[in-house]
Structure 1
């Protein structure tokens, strides 16, 4: 796997990756905020065919917009990030789909789960984003268009747009080819 915007502090051990997310990092393009940011942390591998990617994410979110999860990326103008995002002192299951402009969908979680399981399925021209709190019962958050039949980057994403950073652990990241 390769880092895009490698954090200063991180480690990899067996089936987990620990990251000390650096502050003032983000992935966003234009919409509502009128800025472009492409300096979040992304630890990825290449994937040329359809796949299912999954991971367990456990973060110590504390500041507005602290976020961690999965990212699928073609380039700086075409990507999807999904995971937990901390807004109004509450964790939200979150997805941002970007095709030149970012859009954002959230599902508030009043119980602030200790961990979330994410599954991202790319099949032809679509990406399905599912989440779970027990790794058995999954809910669909979003189904989005993504350019088909092109090689992409898939991996772990974390950012802290407004705060000083936080700690996150990713466990059991896997990519299963389904072509």
Structure 2
């Protein structure tokens, strides 16, 4: 494990002992080709390298307001092999969202059934299997997705956010915890 470093650092961010606050920049996103035809690798991610099996948990709040405003976590090898999970704001509704990219991005969403205050995510890596769980407003974690992810020696993990269509928004991450298993 190493200390986190920025992939596409935002202009405004602040880290304390227990929080990371980010103001996203406009026209930032992570996406590869599918449906839209474009390739974007400009979102903000604060990533640390880890090897082997692990559990990674974080909690976050956001002032989502524009179409596709998003925040959560990212697991990454490179621009063509990554995933992001979290909240994405879609047509006025907060959606639990997962995008998996193996050269081409896919996307799954599920509407949050209540007024959103906070989101907690847990990503677990066991060899080639990734499990993503999510919960809102302090509620229990529930399975969002289990997927295949190539078993490479080292990956990067950490908070992610972006504003593909809007002017940017503020996200506060807390409880970031990486446990090797």
Return the TM-score normalized by structure 1.
Answer: 0.97
Helix, strand or coil for the counterpart of 1:165? coil
Look up the match of 2:164: 161
Helix, strand or coil for the counterpart of 2:161? strand
Range with bigger deviation, 94-103 or 135-144: 135-144
Helix, strand or coil for the counterpart of 2:106? strand
CA distance in 2, matches of 1:112, 1:3: 31
Give the gaps of 5 or more residues in structure 1: none
Within 5 Å, give how 1:17-166 maps onto structure 2. 17-135=20-138, 137-166=140-169
CA contact (8 A) 2:76 2:83 kept: yes
CA contact (8 A) 1:79 1:97 kept: yes
Equivalent pairs counted in the alignment come to 178
CA distance in 1, matches of 2:82, 2:56: 15
Give structure 1 regions of 4+ aligned residues with deviation exceeding 4 angstroms.
Answer: none
Return the TM-score normalized by structure 2.
Answer: 0.96
Give me the CA root mean square deviation.
1.0
CA distance in 2, matches of 1:169, 1:15: 10
Helix, strand or coil for the counterpart of 1:22? coil
Cα deviation for residue 149 of structure 1 reads 3.8
Give the gaps of 5 or more residues in structure 2: none
Cα deviation for residue 135 of structure 1 reads 4.4
CA distance in 2, matches of 1:80, 1:23: 21
